[in-house]
Amino acid sequence: MLVTPPELASGLEIHQGEASAGTQRDIIVIGASAGGVEALSILIRALPDSLSAAIFIVIHLPAHLPSMLPNILARISRLPVSAAQDNLPIRGGQVYIAPPDYHLLLEPGVMRLLHGPKENRFRPAIDPLFRTAAKAYGPRVIGIVLTGSLDDGTSGLLAIKRHKGLAVVQDPAEALFSSMPRSAITHVAVDHVVKLEEMADLLSNLTQPAPEDDPARSDVADLPEPKTPRELELLQLDDSVSGTPSVFSCPECHGTLWEIQDGDMSRYRCRVGHRFSPESMLSEQMETLETSLWSALKTLEEQAALLRRLAAQAQERNQGQMTARFTERIHETESRASLIRNVLLDGILTKPIDEFATSPQDEQ
């Protein structure tokens, strides 16, 4: 069954994410990060073969390695599992997984892959999938945030709720990494917070097969013309709220960042499309700072080595005053290098951002 949005979908009156009698929930988008393979394995294994919804999964992956996730999930799933492909028509009852180094986006009737700007330091990122699913399918979307660090998926889940979709979050108490679920619960009016073992039954209840005469059923001829690469890029960049220039620069391209207020959370976007939540930007800044400090340490150690050579040459020529000056510079340079080395070895720059976050108990 091809899945395309009915023309009447935009006219449905939905409140608090609850579908009207005529709304079918047949698009499920799932985001996961650290600990995600285990969580997805538990969830996908439990899904029945009667599930009629199309399922799309983004998990943060290294760009330079092939993903084995489709093979892993295909071995345990009752539903067909495959890697997402550009311009592939969307069919219900199948699981599609974003490949490494490409954002997975949804258009009416088709999935798209885009090597666009990173979001929250990742490509694929969760937010672009959630955002475009919400825009294309509105109240028919169920967005799910599973285990992971930082907060990718929160902004996308807000978009799903704005378009009258449902928000489901893994219980943070059981998540291997609870930051992503906690962020979603903090900032989004989540409809369901459930354990993984309960999630398959919940999805079965929330999704029902469409009647034979449902306008969701469509022929390939009804699908829209594929977007050009530039139009696809604009689809990823789409924002429903405008922003204002901030005092920050993009850690990726060093352009000016615009601050966008999305509900009660801020996020940042540069001209070319890199996006950051405050937490992901802080993480990127700390990584950039660590790289800069290692470079500074290398330069200082090379400078000290050169000064020692110059001091030795001056001593061979019996240039006592010059030798003393070089020796003093050596001590100053080694002292600065020692300070930087201590900062790096202390580990503060690699401390997980989650540890800086306020816990729910602190907010009470």
How do the domains of the chain map onto residue ranges? 7-237, 243-272, 279-363
Catalytic residue among 26, 151, 152, 191: 152
Catalytic residue among 26, 33, 187, 262: 33
Query: Which pTM does this prediction carry?
Result: 0.76
Least Cα distance to 303 among 273, 333, 344 occurs for: 333
**pLDDT 10s digits, 87-101:** 999 999 999 999 999
> 50-59, 246-255, 270-279, 340-349: which has the highest mean pLDDT?
50-59
The residue that leads in pLDDT, 8 or 285, is 285
Q: Is 86 a catalytic residue?
A: no
Domain 7-237 part of CATH 3.40.50.180? yes
pLDDT of 120 above 90: no
The residue that leads in pLDDT, 310 or 210, is 310
pLDDT of 16 above 70: no
Q: Is 152 a catalytic residue?
A: yes
pLDDT band at 17 (very low <50, low <70, confident <90, very high): very low
How far is 154 from 144, CA to CA, in rounded Å?
10
Q: Is 33 a catalytic residue?
A: yes
How far is 177 from 357, CA to CA, in rounded Å?
13
